[in-house]
Amino acid sequence: MQEYHIPVLLEESIASLNILPDGVYVDATFGAGGHSKPILTTLNAKGHLYAFDQDEDAFDNAFDQPGFTLVHANYRYINRFMKLYKVDQLDGILADLGISSHQIDVPERGFSFRFSSELDMRMNSGSSLTARQVLTEYTEEDLTGIFSDYGEVRNAITLSKKIAEVRKTRDIITTDDFNAILRQCTMGPVQKYFAQVYQALRIEVNDEMNALAEFLQRSMDLLKPGGRFVVITYHSLEDRLVKNLFKTGNVSGELIKDDFGNITRPFELYNKNVILPSPEEQKQNPRSRSAKLRVAIKR
């Protein structure tokens, strides 16, 4: 059977989380539990790990042991769930963003241009918006915005025009329907072009940038002084939000001054430069190639 997901930057992220055995932690993106596992192993009977995943499939990997709670929810609601569990402050939060290999590798999830399937791309199969709906219902202008903002697609206008033209005469239902359009619009290397367009659609379908911004901002308030915030990102849009939050305390990166005119900095940076997977890890797990690890310590 194919592996669900290989954890990325595992040693580096766990070491930087500085786990206290009786601490309370959140793994915001449980997946196959690759990062949760070493956290749980380090915790004692007083410690607790709350993990989140919005994908039901991840629940097949859940650990059945005391001190562990897996929440089926979007991490953007971390504050609501911590309130529900009566947790005021956390010793550390880890988030390994993006999608799991399992999500990419299951054809019917519709995340990959390599398989024939319906255009779905929902991480949470209970949510309503699918990639098919985005391509069918969004205006040409909105599609252009998505492709250029979320995928940095160079000819976003041309692509959106083509989609609008095609959908007048036939439905765009499957990856094959969509790939046929992409083949007519591809600029530069084919794989890269397809990957950029599919990434843009996925981000829109799952409202990823808004969810991440809310999660980051709310997590900041939940961390104890000295608490660690460990985030692995996979593309520049995610990384920018994390970098901004860690430097300024807000995701837009705006410098905020206190009543005395001093710039407020809620975090101390653990690493000045991002931590990248070693060449060996990149070779063993090509999906780790775009990963970047940032770590901050709450003041």
Ligand X SMILES: C[S@@+](CC[C@H](N)C(=O)[O-])C[C@H]1O[C@@H](n2cnc3c(N)ncnc32)[C@H](O)[C@@H]1O
Q: Which residues bind ligand X (CB under 6 A)?
A: 5, 7, 29, 31-35, 52-55, 58, 74-76, 96, 98-100, 123, 211
In angstroms, rounded to a whole number, what is the distance separating the alpha carbons of residues 29 and 118?
25
Cβ at position 286, least distance to ligand X in Å: 14
Give the number of other Cβ atoms within 10 Å of residue 251's Cβ. 20
- CB nearer to ligand X: give 111 or 178: 111
Q: Are the C-beta atoms of 235 and 199 separated by less than 8 Å?
A: yes
Cβ at position 99, least distance to ligand X in Å: 6
Within 8 A by CB and 6+ apart from 169, the residues are none
- CB nearer to ligand X: give 7 or 23: 7
Cβ at position 141, least distance to ligand X in Å: 26
- CB nearer to ligand X: give 111 or 193: 111
Cβ at position 9, least distance to ligand X in Å: 10
- Of 138, 151, 141, 136, the C-alpha closest to 202 is 151
Position 273: which residue type? N
* Residue appearing with tokens 């192993």: 41
Q: 140: exposed, middle or buried (C-beta count within 10 Å: 0-12, 13-18, 19+)?
A: middle
- CB nearer to ligand X: give 179 or 282: 282
- CB nearer to ligand X: give 152 or 207: 207
Cβ at position 208, least distance to ligand X in Å: 7
In angstroms, rounded to a whole number, what is the distance separating the alpha carbons of residues 76 and 241?
14
